Amino acid sequence: MSVGDSARRVGGRERVSGRQQFVGDIRLDGALHVRLVTLDCARARILSVDTSAAAAVPGVHAVITAADLPDPMPRFGPVYADRPVLAVGETKFHGEPVAAVAAETEEAAEEAAELVKVRFDELPAVLTVEQALASDAPLVQEHREGPLATTNTLREWHFGWGDVEGARAECVVEQTYTFPMVTHFAIEPHVFMAAADQGGVTVWSAIQHPYALQAQIASLLGLPIARVRVIAPDPGGAFGGKQHAKFEPLVAFLALRTGRPCRLALTLAQTFQAIRRAAYTVHMRTGFTAEGILVFQDVQTFGLLGAYADIGVRVVSKSTYLMCGPYKVPDARVHVRALLSHTPPATAFRGFGTPQVSWAVESQMDEAARRLGIDRLEIRLRNLAGRGEEVVRGDKPADGDWSEGLRKAAEAIGWGTPLAQNRGRGIGCAIKSSATTGSSYAIVRLHMDGSATVMAGTSDMGQGARTVLAQIAAHELGITPDAVQVVMGDTGMAPFDLQTSASRSTVFMGTAVAQACRDVKRQLGDLAAKAFGADAAVEVGNGTARVDGRELSFVDVLVAGFAGVRGEVIGVGSRRGEADPQHPLGGAPSFYEFNATAVEVEVDRETGELLIVKHVSVADVGKAINPAHVEMQDEGAAIMGLGHTLMEHLIFDEHGRIRNLGALDYRIPTTKDVPLELHSLLVENEDGPGPYGAKGAGEGGLFAVSPAVASAVTEATGAVLHDLPLTAERIWRALQELPATTEGETT
């Protein structure tokens, strides 16, 4: 009953009435306020730090520098433990703290932070792909090992198959595409709190991966995992930006040092300095037959990371592993380098590199279509992998009817119908590798009155995990979602979950919850047999049990089973994605997230401004447990995609400082920037690995927005663009450079 319903959001009431408690709304008694001390440039050699004046400010409890932390400096990170709790010897990006202050009031902390005297020499910084690759480039990270240790290439990969050199193509398209750094801009800035507690520490953070943070803090502080509790209130938007530890380790050290709870609330500007999306430069040479059939892909990709690897290093490898997109490519050669730079760490960001990759892949398809005189929809249909066909040689084949999704997008946008003047349409599609390895556990407690508590470690950051998990449990137990309470956001209460990312939760945690419910039902059967006699014929369904032909409710069974005792039935479920050490990603994708996007735009030739007339996003989700929630996410992803397509990019000055730091100068879409029409359509073939055939969802709407919009601009005007964002200025300049004859021809 409840699976497939567009049930209202669990927690919605609290959110519209101001009662939802976000991490920053929690007040810890006696908490000290923390301020960071940073320098006014990206890279500097720290000569000395004088904290005496700061420490003398009334109300200041601690002013710490690297010298006050264990030696060697504790370092952390999800892939490499390369990020220091505080900068040691050298800062590596603008905003990296040299010292931190904890004081009774925000004013005292602020005053003290300004009084910390840092003597430093600014050093040349690496800010771009070209600078990172220069032969005389300063090394961002020293003391690395291996053949790349003397370069700024953190890792490199060679993917591919077949023989690109020997491949013969009738049409070769060669181009370089750039995708800039953009920032997450969750409306909730990061807040971190910590307090010493019963021989351990409790940390509050609106984090997507509470269990990863728990293990990280335990390791840094030398505590057993059981002594570290992470309370993770529902994040106020995350989008990948709240996956991994940032300043939680620093705040935990301060809490232990001062013996007081400590709280650090970042400003929005500081969140810009803390994390961002990896910038990509993709040089792509693509061969086609005269009929538009792909012959080869020959690709050089640079992913520009920040000063520390964070999870950005995996963003680069995982996204470029699918550098051929959703297409069949006979020969492929993909060389990828993840580069370090003196910029904020690149981390996960919705799409995990797929928007960067598809910007190049899909633009190449459009260019080939134009050169070969083939319709842009048609060239894609000719190359899309059909169900069961490989997109990466030897790996998981296509697991959906992708052409169905693409055709659906084309139909909804009115592909092929006449266009008004200065208008154009574009279409694109892409796949993302979903979660590979990792496990999720759930506990379901069926109470005496038939209601249930689900304990699941997923983070509900707006995607609606509480709602969907409640719907799954309600369906399995035959009760209403209102009778299900989902407990999450506390490592002290819910069992282990690897992480909330890669659109994995419905598949992984959803399966764990469904299994836990089935475990409950098995135990109910045992309980009934015990209560009604071992020989009783017991059959347990969803919500009812048949005992010797009699239909009993779960409550009847519980009352009979626990007569004079009371109790509850506790079921456990789990799902594992198995590791495969031979696989380039450490394990095969559990599913592909497929999206097709089509847009119609109108170009103002005088100003270069774009009006998005219509925007269609089609998500192949297998089965929508809650269709409204899927569509809401897909629409949000579409608009976020328009953000990085039309307006968003972080701009650095020569000192490595972000010039557009904050909401005034870094624009994200508002109500006035959205398409006149926005449609989210779903493909549901129940062919996913999750419960009831579900796949993950919620990222796809971003994948192909940029190439679809750019292609529409080309159709409207003839201008071809290779660099994002497609600002009015950039489009206007491209229009000025068009040969005079082109104008007017294409409308």
Partner 1 sequence: MSDRVPIEVTVNGAPRSVEVAVTETLLDALRWDLDLTGSKECCAEGECGACTVLVGDRSVNSCLVLAVEADGMEITTIEGLAGDGGRLSRLQEAFLDAGAVQCGFCIPGMVVSAQALLAENPHPSPAEVREGLAGNLCRCGGYQRIVDAVLHAAEPQPLADAGNGSFTHVFGARTQVKLPLPEGTATPSEASA
Q: By the criterion CB under 8 A, which residues form the site for partner 1?
A: 6, 8-9, 11-22, 24-25, 27, 58-59, 105, 107-108, 184-189, 234-239, 267-268, 461-464, 624, 627-629, 631-633, 635-636, 638-640, 662-664, 668-672, 674, 676-682
Classified as helix, coil or strand, 726 is coil
Burial 307-338 (b: 16+ CB within 10 A, else e): bbbbbbbbbbbbbbbbbbbbbbbbbbbbbbbb
For residue 680, the minimal CB distance to partner 1 (Å) is: 5
Alpha helices in 482-567, H assignment, sequence order: 505-532, 554-561
CA 208 from chain centre, in angstroms, equals 9
For residue 189, the minimal CB distance to partner 1 (Å) is: 6
Nearest residue (CB) to partner 1, 433 versus 633: 633
Nearest residue (CB) to partner 1, 274 versus 295: 274
- Whether 670 and 646 have beta carbons less than 8 Å apart is answered as no
- For 353: left if phi > 0, alpha if psi spans -120 to 50, otherwise beta; the answer is left
Which long-range CB contacts under 8 A does 611-615 form with residues at least 24 apart?
Answer: 611/676, 612/642, 612/674, 612/675, 612/676, 612/709, 613/423, 613/675, 613/676, 613/677, 614/413, 614/414, 614/675, 614/676, 614/677, 614/678, 614/679, 615/642, 615/675, 615/677, 615/678, 615/679, 615/705
Nearest residue (CB) to partner 1, 84 versus 355: 355
What amino acid occupies position 269? A
What amino acid occupies position 22? F
For residue 505, the minimal CB distance to partner 1 (Å) is: 15
Question: Would you tell me the crossing angle of helices 728-736 and 705-717 to the nearest 10 degrees?
Answer: 40
Strand partners, 285: 174, 298
- For 69: left if phi > 0, alpha if psi spans -120 to 50, otherwise beta; the answer is beta
CA distance 642 to 709: 9
CA distance 742 to 626: 48
Query: Which position among 367, 684, 699, 715 bears the catalytic label?
Result: 699
For residue 551, the minimal CB distance to partner 1 (Å) is: 33
Edge-to-edge strand ranges of the sheet holding 544-547: 538-540, 544-547, 550-553
What amino acid occupies position 282? V
- Following CA atoms 58, 62, 64, 69 in sequence, which dihedral angle do they give, to the nearest 10 degrees? 170
- Whether 695 and 685 have beta carbons less than 8 Å apart is answered as no
Nearest residue (CB) to partner 1, 331 versus 631: 631
For residue 9, the minimal CB distance to partner 1 (Å) is: 6
Nearest residue (CB) to partner 1, 8 versus 522: 8
For residue 459, the minimal CB distance to partner 1 (Å) is: 11
What amino acid occupies position 574? S
CA distance 112 to 17: 37
The pair of structure tokens assigned to 630 is 């899927």
Query: At a CB cut-off of 8 Å and minimum separation 6, what does 159 contact?
Result: 320, 321, 323, 332, 334, 336, 392, 584
For residue 164, the minimal CB distance to partner 1 (Å) is: 41
- Whether 117 and 50 have beta carbons less than 8 Å apart is answered as yes
Q: Which is nearest to 184 in space by CA: 340, 19, 310, 91?
A: 310
- Whether 368 and 290 have beta carbons less than 8 Å apart is answered as no
For residue 673, the minimal CB distance to partner 1 (Å) is: 9
Classified as helix, coil or strand, 136 is coil
For residue 471, the minimal CB distance to partner 1 (Å) is: 15
Nearest residue (CB) to partner 1, 185 versus 288: 185
Q: Which is nearest to 706 in space by CA: 358, 278, 280?
A: 358
Strand partners, 117: 50
Instruction: Tell me, yes or no, if 378 is annotated catalytic.
Output: no
Query: At a CB cut-off of 8 Å and minimum separation 6, what does 482 contact?
Result: none
For residue 202, the minimal CB distance to partner 1 (Å) is: 20
For residue 570, the minimal CB distance to partner 1 (Å) is: 31
Could you give the residue numbers annotated as active site?
Answer: 699
